[in-house]
A = this chain, B = another copy of it.
């Protein structure tokens, strides 16, 4: 049976949405496509390559607003859009974290964050710090939230009572304060 790279990706995404990362194997993707696992390796050299492509797919919609958007507002929107994209897929944050670790991701969000911070007048190094602090806030918190959600689905834990959205908003506001402070120092 013929199947394209996109077939493989969308089947994998479907498994991820329904069952989560632990259940996403090359074998399972192949079974759903009704082909031998070996057929997948024509499109993806290994599972890591499939996961990275999947991570990029999850992040595909996260792009900057108009360049007329204030730089700090742009950072805020990118962070919010990134978080929403991760939350849209079971284990999205863990997937994207692993994709970044692999270093093969084509996702440009890190670059967009740096670009916005540079537009605010920050040095290259300070803009990198902004990217790190925002990226890891979103990834770290969302991994924790999605791990919790899985425990609740499995009946291993009840509702946490935590307001993850508020934790995110408060942490992000603090990081943006730090960024504006750096911008201020450069223009003083």
Contact = CB atoms under 8 A, between A and B. Distances in A.
Interface of A: 46, 48, 97-98, 100-103, 125-126, 128-130, 132-133, 135-141, 143-145, 147-148, 151, 156-157, 160, 167-168, 170-171, 173-179, 181-182
Q: Which of A48, A133, A181 has the most CB of B within 10 A?
A: A133
A174 B130 contact: yes
Contacts of A178: 174-179, 181
A188 to B, nearest CB: 14
A133 B103 contact: no
A157 B97 contact: no
Contacts of A171: 129, 132-133, 136
Contacts of A151: 48, 101-102
A147 to B, nearest CB: 4
Nearest to A141: B136
A15 to B, nearest CB: 19
B170 A46 contact: no
A45 B102 CA distance: 35
A157 B102 contact: yes
A130 B175 CA distance: 9
Contacts of A101: 144-145, 147-148, 151, 160
Contacts of A160: 101, 103
B182 A174 contact: yes
Contact of A181 (B125, B148, B181): B181
